[in-house]
């Protein structure tokens, strides 16, 4: 099931033209990803403290279809897909919460699971596998 995250566009998210700055679009998507992990009981802080795995992004893409403005209430919908035993992808769609018929942004990130000490790929831990199953 898709995970949905609500967020308002703030002035600091926008550029001189008054629309969401392109890099902030990906940051908004990443916020939704982090929130989906938190809701599933996966603590990134604990993961970082333990230092046994890391989930770096190895590919990212984003397409802006319509502008997002300061004050807009957004709905970010994300769906995950397990690619390999050590890799997953997240597809994002951002909508204006008052009009869910038109997609404002489409984005995707691909993540790999690694051991942070030697940077070698490792299998996704059970907590992430369960999160993937819940967020399909």
pLDDT above 80: residue 35? yes
pLDDT digits (tens, 9 = 90+) for 41-76: 998 888 888 888 999 999 999 999 999 999 999 999
Residue 134: the pLDDT is 86
Which of the following is catalytic: 15, 63, 72, 101? Answer: 15
pLDDT above 90: residue 29? yes
Residue 11: the pLDDT is 94
List the beta bridge partners of residue 69. Answer: 19
By C-alpha distance, which of 99, 101, 110, 87 is closest to 26?
110
Residue 45: the pLDDT is 85
In the chain, where the domains are located:
3-134
- The whole-model pTM stands at 0.93
Report whether 3 contacts 29 (CB < 8 A): no
In CATH, which superfamily holds the domain spanning 3-134?
A: Hotdog Thioesterase (3.10.129.10)
Residue 86: the pLDDT is 96
Whether 15 is a known active-site residue: answer yes
C-alpha 40/C-alpha 49 separation (Å) is: 18
**Residues contacting residue 67 through CB under 8 Å, at least 6 positions apart:** 19, 20, 104
pLDDT digits (tens, 9 = 90+) for 78-127: 999 999 999 999 999 999 999 889 999 999 999 999 999 999 999 999 99
Main-chain dihedrals φ then ψ at residue 8, nearest 5 degrees: -95, 150
């Amino acid at each position: 099931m898709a995970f949905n995250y609500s967020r308002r566009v703030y002035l600091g998210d926008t550029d001189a033209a008054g629309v969401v700055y392109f890099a902030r679009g990906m940051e908004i998507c990443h916020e939704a990803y982090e929130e989906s992990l938190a809701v599933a009981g996966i603590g990134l802080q604990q993961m970082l403290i333990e230092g046994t795995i890391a989930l770096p992004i190895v590919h990212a893409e984003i397409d802006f279809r319509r502008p997002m403005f300061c004050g807009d209430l957004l709905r970010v919908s994300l769906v995950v897909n397990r690619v390999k035993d050590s890799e997953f992808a997240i597809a994002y769609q951002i909508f204006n919460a008052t009009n869910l018929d038109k997609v404002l942004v489409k984005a995707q990130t691909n993540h790999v699971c690694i051991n942070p000490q030697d940077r070698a790929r490792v299998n996704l831990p059970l907590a992430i596998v369960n999160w993937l199953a819940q967020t399909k």
